[in-house]
Structure 1
Amino acid sequence: MHTVLPFLLAMIAAVVLLEMWATKLKIAYPILLVIAGLLISFIPGLPVLRIDPDLIFFIFLPPLLFEASWGVSFKEMKKWWRIIGSFAFLVVFFTALSVAIFANYFLPGFTIALGFLLGGIVSPPDAISTAAITKFVKIPKSTSAILEGESLLNDASSLIIFRFAMITVGTGQFIWHEAATSFLWMVIGGAAVGLLLARFFIEAHKRLPTDASSDIALLLIEPYLMYWLAEQLHCSGVLAVVCGGVYMSTKRLVFLNSASRISGYSVWESLVFILNGIVFLIIGLDLPEIVEGLRAHGTPLRTAIGYGVLVTGVLIAARIISSYAAMLATIIFRPAVRPKIRGRFGLLLMPLFLGWTGMRGVVSLAAALSIPVMLDNGQQFPQRNLILFITFVAILLTLVIQGLTLPFLIKRSGLFDDLEKEESDDQTRLQMKQGLKQHVYQFLKNKYDNEMNGHAGMEKLLHIWEERAKANSDSLMNAQTKVIFIELLESQRKYLQELNKDPQINEEIIREQLYQIDLEEERMKII
Structure 2
Amino acid sequence: MHTLLPFLLAMVAAIVLLNMWATKLKIAYPILLVLAGLIVSFIPGLPVVRVNPDLIFFIFLPPLLFDAAWAISFKEMKKWWRIIGSFAFLVVFFTALSVALVTNHLIPGFTIALGFLLGGIVSPPDAVSTGAITKFVKIPKSFSAILEGESLLNDASSLIIFRFALIAVGTGSFVWQEATLSFLWMVIGGVGIGLLLAWLFVQAHKRLPTDAPSDIALTLIEPYFMYWVAEQVHSSGVMAVVSGGLFMSARRLVFLNSASRIMGYGVWQSFVFILNGVVFLIIGLELPEIVDGMRSNGIPLGTAIGYGLLVTGVLIAARIISSYAAMIATFIFRPSVAPRASSRKAQFTIPLILGWTGMRGVVSLAAALAIPPTLLGGAAFPYRNLILFITFVVILLTLLIQGLTLPYFINRTSLFNEALREDKEHEATKKMKKDLKQHAYQFLKNKYDNELHGHTGLEKILMHWEEKTKAADDSWMNDGTKAIFVELLESQRQYLSELNKDVSINEEIIRKQLYQIDLEEERLKII
Question: What TM-score comes out, normalization by structure 2 length?
Answer: 0.98
Which residue in 2 is equivalent to 1:287? Answer: 287
Which residue in 1 is equivalent to 2:523? Answer: 523
CA distance in 1: counterparts of 2:297 and 2:456, whole angstroms: 85
Q: Which moved more, 1:483-492 or 1:279-288?
A: 279-288
Identity percentage of aligned residues: 75
Which residue in 2 is equivalent to 1:307? Answer: 307
Q: Deviations over 1:10-39 (max 9, x none)?
A: 111111111111111111111111111211
Which residue in 1 is equivalent to 2:460? Answer: 460
Please give the residue correspondences for 1:340-379 in structure 2 after superposition, counting only pairs within 5 Å.
340-379=340-379
Q: Deviations over 1:275-317 (max 9, x none)?
A: 1111122233322111011111111111111111001100110
1:179 maps to amino acid? A
Closer, same or farther in 2 for the Cα pair 1:390/1:460, shift >3 Å? closer
2:500 maps to amino acid? N
CA distance in 2: counterparts of 1:361 and 1:216, whole angstroms: 26
Which residue in 1 is equivalent to 2:189? Answer: 189
Deviation at 1:472, TM superposition (A): 5.2
Which residue in 1 is equivalent to 2:496? Answer: 496
Deviation at 1:2, TM superposition (A): 1.4
Is 1:451 the counterpart of 2:451? The answer is yes
1:255 maps to amino acid? F
CA distance in 2: counterparts of 1:373 and 1:198, whole angstroms: 34
CA distance in 2: counterparts of 1:330 and 1:290, whole angstroms: 44
Which residue in 1 is equivalent to 2:419? Answer: 419
Work out whether residues 22 and 29 of structure 1, in 8 Å CA contact, stay in contact via their aligned partners in 2. yes
Is 1:514 the counterpart of 2:508? The answer is no
* Equivalent residue pairs, number: 527
CA distance in 2: counterparts of 1:516 and 1:477, whole angstroms: 19
Is 1:247 the counterpart of 2:258? The answer is no
Please give the residue correspondences for 1:308-347 in structure 2 after superposition, counting only pairs within 5 Å.
308-347=308-347
Q: Deviations over 1:83-135 (max 9, x none)?
A: 00000000000000000000111111111111111111110111110000000
Work out whether residues 139 and 420 of structure 2, in 8 Å CA contact, stay in contact via their aligned partners in 1. no
1:206 maps to amino acid? K
Deviation at 1:453, TM superposition (A): 2.0
Question: What TM-score comes out, normalization by structure 1 length?
Answer: 0.98
Work out whether residues 99 and 119 of structure 2, in 8 Å CA contact, stay in contact via their aligned partners in 1. yes
1:105 maps to amino acid? H
CA distance in 2: counterparts of 1:320 and 1:57, whole angstroms: 29
CA distance in 2: counterparts of 1:184 and 1:468, whole angstroms: 54
Closer, same or farther in 2 for the Cα pair 1:44/1:463, shift >3 Å? closer
Closer, same or farther in 2 for the Cα pair 1:420/1:295, shift >3 Å? closer
CA distance in 1: counterparts of 2:405 and 2:29, whole angstroms: 14
Work out whether residues 259 and 518 of structure 1, in 8 Å CA contact, stay in contact via their aligned partners in 2. yes
Q: Deviations over 1:55-98 (max 9, x none)?
A: 00000111111111100000100000010000000000000000
Which residue in 2 is equivalent to 1:222? Answer: 222
CA distance in 2: counterparts of 1:331 and 1:471, whole angstroms: 57
1:459 maps to amino acid? E
Q: Deviations over 1:171-204 (max 9, x none)?
A: 1111111111111111111111111000000000
Which residue in 2 is equivalent to 1:117? Answer: 117
2:380 maps to amino acid? Q
Deviation at 1:426, TM superposition (A): 2.5
Which residue in 2 is equivalent to 1:401? Answer: 401
CA distance in 2: counterparts of 1:51 and 1:424, whole angstroms: 50
Work out whether residues 88 and 151 of structure 1, in 8 Å CA contact, stay in contact via their aligned partners in 2. yes
Deviation at 1:471, TM superposition (A): 4.4
Which residue in 2 is equivalent to 1:146? Answer: 146
CA distance in 1: counterparts of 2:331 and 2:25, whole angstroms: 39
Work out whether residues 186 and 236 of structure 1, in 8 Å CA contact, stay in contact via their aligned partners in 2. yes
Work out whether residues 341 and 420 of structure 1, in 8 Å CA contact, stay in contact via their aligned partners in 2. no
Is 1:58 the counterpart of 2:55? The answer is no
1:126 maps to amino acid? D
CA distance in 1: counterparts of 2:69 and 2:235, whole angstroms: 19
Q: Deviations over 1:424-472 (max 9, x none)?
A: 4322221111011100110110000011123233233323323233445
Deviation at 1:45, TM superposition (A): 0.8
Work out whether residues 140 and 420 of structure 2, in 8 Å CA contact, stay in contact via their aligned partners in 1. no
Q: Which moved more, 1:283-292 or 1:477-486?
A: 283-292
Work out whether residues 258 and 518 of structure 1, in 8 Å CA contact, stay in contact via their aligned partners in 2. yes
1:378 maps to amino acid? G
Deviation at 1:421, TM superposition (A): 3.3
Work out whether residues 138 and 420 of structure 2, in 8 Å CA contact, stay in contact via their aligned partners in 1. no
Work out whether residues 195 and 240 of structure 2, in 8 Å CA contact, stay in contact via their aligned partners in 1. yes
CA distance in 1: counterparts of 2:375 and 2:339, whole angstroms: 48
Work out whether residues 327 and 338 of structure 1, in 8 Å CA contact, stay in contact via their aligned partners in 2. yes
Work out whether residues 130 and 359 of structure 1, in 8 Å CA contact, stay in contact via their aligned partners in 2. yes
Deviation at 1:423, TM superposition (A): 5.2
CA distance in 2: counterparts of 1:415 and 1:285, whole angstroms: 41
CA distance in 2: counterparts of 1:224 and 1:471, whole angstroms: 46
Is 1:28 the counterpart of 2:38? The answer is no
Q: Deviations over 1:133-190 (max 9, x none)?
A: 0000011100100000001000000010011111111111111111111111111111
Which residue in 1 is equivalent to 2:4? Answer: 4
CA distance in 1: counterparts of 2:360 and 2:492, whole angstroms: 41
Work out whether residues 311 and 394 of structure 2, in 8 Å CA contact, stay in contact via their aligned partners in 1. yes
Structure 2, unaligned stretches of length 5 or more?
Answer: none
CA distance in 1: counterparts of 2:29 and 2:342, whole angstroms: 33
CA distance in 2: counterparts of 1:48 and 1:136, whole angstroms: 36
CA distance in 2: counterparts of 1:270 and 1:132, whole angstroms: 14
CA distance in 2: counterparts of 1:169 and 1:130, whole angstroms: 32
2:7 maps to amino acid? F
